[in-house]
Amino acid sequence: MTMTSTPPAEQATAAPQRRTGRWIDDWRPEEPEFWAETGQTVARRNLVWSIFAEHLGFSVWLIWSVSSAFLLAQGFEFTAQQLFLLVAIPNLVGSLLRVPYTLAVGSFGGRNWTMVSAALLLVPTLGFAVAVTNPATPYWAFCIIAATAGFGGGNFASSMANINFFYPAAKKGAALGLNAAGGNLGVALIQFFLPVIVGGAGIFGLVKASEGGIHLERAAWIYAGLAVVATAAAYFLMDNLGTAKADARSQLAVLKSKQTWVMSLLYIGTFGSFIGYSAAMPLLIKLNFWRQPVPSIPGIGINFVFYAFLGALVGSMARPLGGWLADKYGGARITLVAFGGMIAATLGVLHTVSLLQPVPPPPAPEVLAQIAADPASFDYPPAVLDAVNANSEIFPFFLGIFLLVFAFSGIGNGSTYKMIPAIFKTEADRIGVDGSPERRHAVLNATKRASAAIGIIGAVGAIGGFLIPITFGSPWVSDPIDATKVAFVIFTAFYVVCALVTWTVYLRTPAEDQAATSYAGVGI
């Protein structure tokens, strides 16, 4: 039942109107008095718990990025190509789920869908816990369980679409940046803490690795428990907005907008790079800089577990900076700067990769079994020692420049998400005159369109998280360094295309007869 309306004289400062089921029907974030008196408090509370739920989603989504590197140590015999596929599958499923997850916010309410999406994380976590404790689990079963981890990737789209409704246009960049950064940090934390939780390694020597071997199921049980906490927190502490209600047909209408597809392309370059590199980085480091044939043999080179989380951490921390800079200087300008930085940094990574020496492939499974049976008799071949030692000297430069790629991708993530609502609001501001009913309706509809577009754009952008590991992984066994070189050449060329599109569509001063429909100079 909807509550009675508030008299106009009191409406500006009245508390949000509620009905049963934690629904708020009166929500006017663009009105300064309403926002200052009541709106921002409610919005911040929902933002905090949205970040928590989304953070868990990202952690579960990327749990395979690190755990795949430990599967061999736990007794599973998978090839490098199979491991890269396990890393990539959750990203593909997560990208496909982002559209229905976005539509679910308008259909069921943001708070209600946060409960459902958090509870769904129990499927991949409990499935993971069972699979890794059974040495007979076939590879295809791992692929199915990895696919369900994509539920966590869908959380991002619904969370961002929901928070977009809570904040006024002038504060969307920072709010969406914080919401996304909190989720993105889930990637860094799962990559940092999972090796410690499962007993695979300590933290830079401060914590010792477990002497009882690898126990991947420990991480799964912890995140299953946290998923229950997130579900309860959404139930008790979050709200649904009645103004966010929209039918699927009207939301999918944004598919007809050219801007939806332009921004999808740009988001592949920013977020697709962030999630793809985050997923691939542990295996990328392990295959080029680290060698340990069996767990009972001391490893040589650069241990990936100490550094794999840094890229995701830097990218996550840079995302709110990108949103803040976009609020201040315009999203398109900052996005162009981000792509320029990514082009330069990716060329730098390509240069460091060209200096690497090929590391001979690991021994065959039967040889590994002999080494495990008699580790005392094993010595690293001179060719392996020389290659790993030489590559270890290059690693600081490789890592440092690669972190710049993450930093600029994070800035671009924040700035592109500022652009999305700004684009649709710009279109709404061209309808009617200021203060007219037509303009007010257009602005409200623009928020709904932007939230729907966020889901579409997020879905397309996340496909980069699938393509990047696949590009790295396909020819690994035969010639990993050449495969890496080709991959970075392709990525650099794509960033050049994204930079040109950003400048042409959103920054280039158009001809006079096109000025009325141009987005240049309007703060996008």
Determine, yes or no, domain membership for 249: yes
Q: Which residue has the tokens 């730098």?
A: 348
Residue type for position 149: A
What integer pLDDT is reported at residue 11 of this predicted model? 44
Determine, yes or no, domain membership for 1: no
Determine, yes or no, domain membership for 262: yes
Rounded Cα distance, 154 and 462, in Å = 10
Determine, yes or no, domain membership for 477: yes
What integer pLDDT is reported at residue 406 of this predicted model? 96
Burial 500-523 (b: 16+ CB within 10 A, else e): ebbbebbbeeeeeeeeeebbbeeb
What integer pLDDT is reported at residue 464 of this predicted model? 87
What integer pLDDT is reported at residue 328 of this predicted model? 87
Determine, yes or no, domain membership for 22: no
Helix (H) or strand (E) holding 189: helix 169-197
What integer pLDDT is reported at residue 376 of this predicted model? 84
How many other β-carbons are positioned within 10 Å of the β-carbon of residue 426? 19
pTM of the model: 0.78
Assign 301 to helix, strand or coil: strand
What integer pLDDT is reported at residue 114 of this predicted model? 95
Determine, yes or no, domain membership for 395: yes
Domain of residue 211 covers: 41-369+380-517
The mean pLDDT values, 10 residues at a time, for the chain of 524 residues are 39 53 85 90 94 92 83 75 85 88 87 95 94 89 94 88 87 81 81 74 51 76 95 94 75 83 94 89 84 81 84 88 88 95 96 90 77 85 92 95 96 89 81 75 77 82 86 64 86 96 85 59 60
Assign 23 to helix, strand or coil: strand
Tell me if 160 sits within 8 A of 176, measured CB to CB.
Answer: yes
Determine, yes or no, domain membership for 18: no
The maximal CA–CA distance of the chain, rounded, in angstroms, is 87
What integer pLDDT is reported at residue 7 of this predicted model? 42
Q: Which residue has the tokens 């010639």?
A: 479
From residue 216, give the alpha-carbon distance in Å to each of 72, 122, 194, 458. 11, 16, 8, 30
Q: Give the CATH number for residue 345.
A: 1.20.1250.20
Burial class (CB in 10 A: 0-12, 13-18, 19+), 164: buried
Determine, yes or no, domain membership for 29: no
Rounded Cα distance, 301 and 388, in Å = 6
Tokens for 473, please give them.
Answer: 């992984």
Number of domains making up the chain: 1
Tell me if 251 sits within 8 A of 102, measured CB to CB.
Answer: yes
How many other β-carbons are positioned within 10 Å of the β-carbon of residue 475? 16
Alpha helices in 357-479 (DSSP H): 365-373, 382-428, 437-462, 464-473
Burial class (CB in 10 A: 0-12, 13-18, 19+), 292: middle
Tokens for 347, please give them.
Answer: 């060329």
What integer pLDDT is reported at residue 5 of this predicted model? 37
What integer pLDDT is reported at residue 237 of this predicted model? 93
Tokens for 341, please give them.
Answer: 């930085």
Contacts of 366 (CB under 8 A, 6+ apart): none
Residue type for position 191: Q
